[in-house]
Copies of this chain bind each other. A is one copy, B any other.
Amino acid sequence: MKVNQLISEIKEKKSFLCVGLDTDISKLPDGISKNTQGILDFNKAIIEATKDYAVSYKLNTAFYEQLGSEGWKTLEKTRELIPNNILSIADAKRGDIGNTSSMYARAFFETMNFDAVTVAPYMGLDSVEPFLKFDQKITIVLGLTSNKGSIDFQTNPLYDPPLYKTVLKQVSSWGPMENLMFVVGATKAAALKEIRQIVPNHFLLIPGVGAQGGSAVEVCQNGKNQNGGLLINSSRSIIYASNGKDFAEAARQKAKELAKETEPYTLHL
């Protein structure tokens, strides 16, 4: 899947919503087995319930890796449940020396057939390039993250321009908007206007709305571009909208609500 198809999907569904399938056994609702089969059943129900509003699903690999090879199998099986018209993202934050990054790229783009994968920039060009070589896939590089620790290096006042701006500027010269995106935390919505001056065209994957406190409307006001250019991720507030037997219906309602919140910004794209 390529960015053009994602843009069509955004227009059709009038939604920037990316649903994070960060599924934790200890938070599974009543009536779902507390094991990897339960995670799969839960993910299936959530996908089914939210697919009319979601233009993307994002799976954070940590949630699956903590369960060992059984968890990894659950990650693979969940990937297979995501409909082809909806962008599948492995939120893996990988990155290594060139020949090793090639293997990560194969792991996510070929072995598991994800449409996109998140990548950490610290190791530079040859750690990112093997992902970009898959020109029918999408590489999403960390720019400015949503967590407190982003101050330690990304916005460390020791550096002017701040590191994240150098990352955005440099990495955006390595790939076109057709197969390169950036992660920018919603908790940094005020920075989005400046970020759009550095990367006017690339899509931004925006985590941090909901549980982490970011505002989706502010993200749209400051971050939207002519193609939309946004994927707004929400995980916990959707998938754990209810911990009762109505969890899927509650997730659907919450997804609808979040999509509606930003619908005005998807019109006239």
The answer for the CA separation of A154 and B125 in the assembled complex, in Å, is: 12
**Closest B residue to A147 using CB positions:** B97
A153 touches B126 (CB 8 A): no
Q: Decide if the interface of chain A is mainly helix, strand, loop or mixed.
A: helix
The answer for the CA separation of A67 and B121 in the assembled complex, in Å, is: 24
User: How many residues from A make CB contacts under 8 Å with B?
Assistant: 59
The answer for the CA separation of A215 and B125 in the assembled complex, in Å, is: 24
A147 touches B123 (CB 8 A): yes
Each complex incorporates copies of this chain amounting to 2
B166 touches A147 (CB 8 A): no
Given contacts A120-B120, A153-B166, contact A60 B125 (CB under 8 A): no
B93 touches A94 (CB 8 A): yes
Residues of chain B within 8 A (CB-CB) of A151 are 124
Is A62 in the interface zone, CB < 8 Å from B?
yes
Residues of chain B within 8 A (CB-CB) of A67 are 107, 111
Provide 21 A-B residue pairs closer than 8 Å at the C-beta atoms, listed in order of the A residue.
Answer: A60-B96, A62-B107, A65-B103, A65-B104, A65-B111, A66-B107, A66-B111, A68-B72, A69-B69, A71-B107, A72-B72, A93-B94, A93-B95, A95-B120, A98-B147, A98-B148, A120-B120, A121-B153, A124-B153, A125-B152, A153-B170
